[in-house]
Amino acid sequence: MKTGNKDGPKESVTAEMIDQEKQITEYGEGFFDRSESGDKVYDVLIVDDETQILKLLKESLKASRALKCDVTLATDGKYGLKHINEKDYDLVLSDYSMPEVNGLEFLKQVKEDSPETVRIMITGQGDLDIAKEAINEADVHHFIEKPWDTQELISTVRKELKGKEESRDEDAEWVPDVDSVGEAIDAVESLQREVTRNPEKTIEKEMMMLEFDSNEEFNEFSFKVKNKRNIEVEDVNIFQDKYVLAIGVLPESCERIT
């Protein structure tokens, strides 16, 4: 048990932990958010050298009816980085005060190794300088102080994850990295399957941009997709001998009008 650090004695948080356990119980009973979470399961990594804090944070996330998380725990920054290097995480929650590798150094490395991972720092240290350093150096998305409010914590995590998903959605007209006509066909069919699995997502077309280096590749691709169900070549442009196609994929509920 650590004592004497800037967070204060660890024993002093016992009453706060009891209060947070009560919050988690109430959350699980539905006193807070009841919105639908859908089928998306987020991968979340929690790093803290206190096992009780790890347990409370995990239970907080698991208690939410509006957020589905697969939670991984690590008791220090070293093992946290090991997890980061083995798997892509949607979000990481890290304590600041940890031995060997503190939360700031850990999150700076997470930024380098996994820049798409949302980074949130949790600390009992009400130091504005640390918050500024965390934001500036580790590009921390949010800063939460102990003791945290369970509803606020869940709301923050949901907001950050939603922002990440919206950022991905902004790239709906995406350009996959393909090196052949076969890979281009695979990319279009993958988008077609995604639209089919999620018919409620949109009643409009999902768009994809594809680029070919030659007239032969363009003609081959166009011939292979022309009779595919609910796939249309929307537009063709030629830039410096590059053939750029806009492909539209319609939901199964939308039949072509011919």
**CA atoms in the 13 A half-sphere facing the CB of 255:** 2
The number of beta carbons lying within 10 Å of the beta carbon of residue 98 is 25
- Report yes or no: 211 and 240 within 8 Å, Cβ to Cβ: no
- Res. 256 pLDDT band, cuts 50 70 90: very low
Q: Which amino acid makes up residue 109?
A: Q
Which sign, positive or negative, has the C-alpha torsion 86, 80, 132, 69? positive
Q: Given this model, what pLDDT does residue 197 score?
A: 66
- Report yes or no: 99 and 72 within 8 Å, Cβ to Cβ: no
Residue 125, pLDDT > 70, answer no
- For the chain, the maximum distance between any two Cα atoms, rounded to a whole number of angstroms, is 76
pLDDT, one tens digit per residue, over 163-180 is: 777 655 444 445 566 778
- Residue 232, classed as helix, strand or coil, is strand
For all residues of the chain together, what is the average pLDDT?
76
Residue 249, pLDDT > 50, answer yes
Contacts of 215 (CB under 8 A, 6+ apart): 243
pTM score, whole prediction: 0.56
Cα–Cα distance, 165 to 244 (Å, whole number):
26
